[in-house]
Copies of this chain bind each other. A is one copy, B any other.
Amino acid sequence: MMKISCFLLLFIFPFSCIQAEDGSKLWLRYVPVSKEIAQSRSITVAAENPIAVRAQQELITFWRGQSIDLKLDKKLPYLKDGFKITGHSERIKVVANEPVGLLYAAYHLLKLQETDQQVSSLKVEEIPSFDIRMLNHWDNLDRTVERGYAGYSLWKWDELPGVISPRYEEYARANASIGINATVINNVNASPQILNTAYLAKLQGLATVFRRYGIKIYLSVNFSSPKILGGTSDSDPLNPEVILWWKNKVKEIYQVIPDFGGFLVKANSEGQPGPQDYGRTHAEGANMLAAILKPYQGFVMWRAFVYNPTTEDRAKQAYQEFVPLDGAFSDNVIIQIKNGPIDFQPREPFNPLFGALRKSNEMVEFQITQEYLGFSNHLVYLAPLFKETLASDTYADGAGSTVARLTDGTLRPARKTAIAAVANIGDNINWTGHHFAQANWYAYGRLAWNHQLSSEQIAEEWIAMTFSKDKSIIDAVKEIMMTSREAAVNYMMPLGLHHIFAFDHHYGPEPWGDQKGGRPDWMPLYYHQADTIGVGFDRTASGSNAISQYSPEVANIYGDIKLCHDQFLLWFHHVPWTYTMKSGRSLWDELCYKYDHGVMQVRDMQKTWDRLEGQVDQQRFVEVQSKLKIQAKDAVWWKDACLLYFQTFSRRPIPYDIERPVHELEDLKRIKLDMKHHN
């Protein structure tokens, strides 16, 4: 039957004969081994732990190589939840300090197999970069997902706990396969209802599945929960009645989820309640919860993403609020800091809080879901973005004080190190909307495990497991992926421009955006500051002086228009249109070429992808091809909108060798997409 359908397919599309795939398998496209192979070798496990048995089972089912012995060895704490693999062509030994280490080792071996690497002589030791490798789901209880572009939430609250969807296990397995061991399953803009007893029973259902893959559940909590759910007079963190309510609630949680991870809190930010409502500090709020969680080994991730509609540069506010509290936080509080000082833009300099907090635990929060990167329509490989932040040198503890080393325990010992990212996962058949958005989930997990991996290496692994082991296909797809993030920056916001998106939903350009009565710090005009002289936000000493929040080594570079990298120029400087760039071009011309280059890059991505027709399965080929068409059109939309708009200030021609606009600025201004900020 398959031969026949292949023959028919040949007749319809002669250059394609690969079975269709819907992307539901992610990078886990292992094929079960034959009976012969299964009988030719043994897979043993010296542990009764169910996670260890899970590891054994994966290998029994999918490992095509030699015999493997899995062994738990509690005398190797330095391994953390990592593993050691040694072996020769006849037998492999796997040792781990924790059961989940064996499971990670199993996926490591399967990855070697699936990427055609040698397994006949192995000497591997992997210790994860971060202790807590966390996904943040922004899933609401009504199953919408804030900034979600892959369908509704995976969590079917109406069915739970009675019905356990098979996708919960698939989700857990996928995460375990890349080392993710923590998940905050609800939105940081949290409904208090998640702490209701009825929901705790549902959570227990999820936790039971996740536990088999070494994944702990965390919850986002609403700081007003005591008053709303418990009827306390307020939610003041120093109110004994409130504290008692939290104590009882935490106790209740641990009764049903003994390995519960802790709380993620967005407090006093964008309208969320918090300790400041009662004249208390972030530290007082966080420490109250931390003290209650501590006996259970629970943690509080306290978000530093705070800003208010003041006249102060939004980029400075988190620093201003948190640095004075440095040292006041309990040791099981981790300050969760967005990678940049604004909000998950296509490119931001690192957040100055990194390093500036000297006596507090700090962790990075990335965004995998593409709120500011074309939703699930644009192919943007985010490993280079993640790595750019992690590799940024803050100079906080001298040269080499990268964000990675500040948060992974290398420079500053911590009870637990952690990293988080906002998930891009929904109930779409392919999980992430865009087939290539899977790569961002994958890459985040891999970097959380080992932040020294290169973007290229991660891409190669992912492509080989997801599409094809063929070298030429890997090279082509990798080229697309490695181009994509810079392309997106170029066609959206080159040279340090930021936050010039359409209002609220953030899809498409709206550099002219200026909602009447709206918060200035939500308006593009606030961020680009274009006028007839130039464009860009002066954050030097002559402007908001945000550069003063960085170490002098950094501030000296960012703050000097001559030294500042082009990519951050308009983030830190208001630059005249006539300013001569490093390229020798004027700023205006350079801006034009950047936008145009972004369009060309997307078109090149299309060409490269189209050449793969028939070499990857037709379904995913066509679906990706179709998304790339949208991206190519959107890139032109971005370019035209931004150049035509900024031209009203620069009053200079777009260099004439550049492809001309095909839109009218006034037409583009009339576009109001009917999109919500959740699905």
Stretch in A9-17, A18-26, A492-500, A671-679 with 4+ CB within 8 Å of B: A9-17
Q: How far is the CA of A268 from the CA of B652 in the complex (A)?
A: 59
Stretch in A27-35, A521-529, A583-591, A605-613 with 4+ CB within 8 Å of B: A605-613
In the assembled complex, A651 has its CB within 8 A of some CB on chain B: yes
A503 to chain B, nearest CB (A): 25
- Known contacts being A607-B656, A607-B657, A610-B653, is A663 close to B14, with CB within 8 Å? no
Q: How far is the CA of A662 from the CA of B637 in the complex (A)?
A: 12
Give chain A interface residues in 652-675, CB to chain B under 8 Å: 652-654, 656-657, 659-664
Stretch in A103-111, A312-320, A512-520, A625-633 with 4+ CB within 8 Å of B: A625-633
In the assembled complex, A405 has its CB within 8 A of some CB on chain B: no
Q: How far is the CA of A651 from the CA of B628 in the complex (A)?
A: 21
In the assembled complex, A412 has its CB within 8 A of some CB on chain B: no
Partner of A12, one of B14, B651, B664: B651
Partner of A662, one of B633, B652, B654: B633
In the assembled complex, A603 has its CB within 8 A of some CB on chain B: yes
* Beta-carbon nearest neighbor of A640 in chain B: B629
Q: How far is the CA of A566 from the CA of B632 in the complex (A)?
A: 32
Contacts of A15 in B (CB 8 A): 651-653
Decide: B607 and A651 in contact? CB cutoff 8 A.
no
Mask, A618-659, CB within 8 Å of B = 1, is 000000001011001100000000000000000111101101
Partner of A610, one of B14, B660, B664: B660
Q: How far is the CA of A656 from the CA of B653 in the complex (A)?
A: 32
Contacts of A613 in B (CB 8 A): 653
* Beta-carbon nearest neighbor of A13 in chain B: B651
- Residue from A14, A613, A653, A660 whose CB has the most chain B CB atoms within 10 Å: A660
* Beta-carbon nearest neighbor of A632 in chain B: B662
A7 to chain B, nearest CB (A): 14
* Beta-carbon nearest neighbor of A633 in chain B: B662
Mask, A538-573, CB within 8 Å of B = 1, is 000000000000000000000000000000000000
Partner of A606, one of B14, B628, B633, B660: B660
* Beta-carbon nearest neighbor of A600 in chain B: B659
* Beta-carbon nearest neighbor of A12 in chain B: B651
Contacts of A13 in B (CB 8 A): 651
A117 to chain B, nearest CB (A): 31
Q: How far is the CA of A493 from the CA of B473 in the complex (A)?
A: 35
Decide: A656 and B611 in contact? CB cutoff 8 A.
yes
Q: How far is the CA of A626 from the CA of B603 in the complex (A)?
A: 24
Contacts of A661 in B (CB 8 A): 629
Q: How far is the CA of A553 from the CA of B512 in the complex (A)?
A: 64
Mask, A464-496, CB within 8 Å of B = 1, is 000000000000000000000000000000000
Contacts of A628 in B (CB 8 A): 660
Decide: B660 and A607 in contact? CB cutoff 8 A.
yes
Contacts of A656 in B (CB 8 A): 607, 610-611
A402 to chain B, nearest CB (A): 39
Decide: B611 and A662 in contact? CB cutoff 8 A.
no
A634 to chain B, nearest CB (A): 10
Contacts of A611 in B (CB 8 A): 656
- Known contacts being A603-B660, A659-B603, A660-B628, is A654 close to B610, with CB within 8 Å? yes
A224 to chain B, nearest CB (A): 47
A561 to chain B, nearest CB (A): 24
Contacts of A652 in B (CB 8 A): 14-15
Q: How far is the CA of A652 from the CA of B16 in the complex (A)?
A: 11
Contacts of A606 in B (CB 8 A): 659-660
* Beta-carbon nearest neighbor of A613 in chain B: B653
Give chain A interface residues in 229-275, CB to chain B under 8 Å: none
- Residue from A15, A606, A656 whose CB has the most chain B CB atoms within 10 Å: A656
Apart from the given pairs A610-B653, A611-B656, 20 other A-B contacts in the complex at a CB distance below 8 Å: A12-B651, A13-B651, A14-B651, A14-B652, A15-B652, A603-B659, A603-B660, A606-B659, A606-B660, A607-B657, A607-B659, A607-B660, A610-B654, A610-B656, A613-B653, A629-B661, A629-B664, A632-B660, A632-B662, A633-B662
20 contacts between A and B (CB under 8 A): A12-B651, A13-B651, A14-B651, A14-B652, A603-B659, A603-B660, A607-B656, A607-B657, A607-B660, A610-B653, A610-B654, A610-B660, A611-B656, A626-B664, A629-B660, A629-B661, A629-B662, A629-B664, A632-B660, A632-B662
